[in-house]
Copies of this chain bind each other. A is one copy, B any other.
Amino acid sequence: MTCIEVPAREGRAVGLRAGQTVTIVDVDGGQVADTWAYVDGAPREYASAEHTRVAVGKLFPDRGEDFVTNRRRPVLRLEADTSPGLHDLLIAACNAERYVQLGVEGWHASCEDNLRQAMGAYGVGDVVVPSPINLFMNTPFLPDGNVQWLPAQTAAGDAVVLRALLDCVVAVSACPQDVTGINRRPGPLRLEVGD
């Protein structure tokens, strides 16, 4: 089994053949995993939040349901989930500009930079940055439409299993957000690739 450690505040990408799974493990708990998938060899086709909402008719897929691409093709199945099941498909990845607006001075790691770096290391440059699949992220929208920024409720070892339905590259960022409190503290993730 291929096992990839994602250090705190960093990102990694892994290639999956259709049928393989990737288990995304929150090693210490309380950590958000910003996740993207691009079709192998065609990175302008990617897992799309707005197309997935149409495909499943709701804000986030249930277990056994699929994330689809911007070409409406199922690309990842939410196969298993040992976490409390709180995830987000509505919020942009943090980027450099977000931390400037939050008052951070100087450089700060971000999920968008982590994505670009991880995909670059995988050999894919100049990626489009889709709206991420924010695993373990606890940012519910209230019935009045307002968002809450709450800490991730995951325990150490909680995990989500995604099964590839197309050959694809999955990129995961251990979200370095340490201003808004959505992470207990920025910690590591682990990616386990299985057949």
Contacts and interface: CB of A to CB of B under 8 A. Distances in A.
Contact of A90 (B50, B73, B97, B143): B50
**Main SS of the interface on chain A?**
loop
A131 interface: yes
Contacts of A59: 90, 141, 145, 147
Interface residues of A, number: 30
Contacts of A147: 53-54, 57-59
How many monomers of this protein are in the complex? 2
B91 A54 contact: yes
A71 to B, nearest CB: 6
A98 interface: yes
A42 to B, nearest CB: 14
Interface of A: 48-51, 53-54, 57-60, 70-73, 90-92, 95, 97-98, 101, 128-129, 131, 141, 143-147
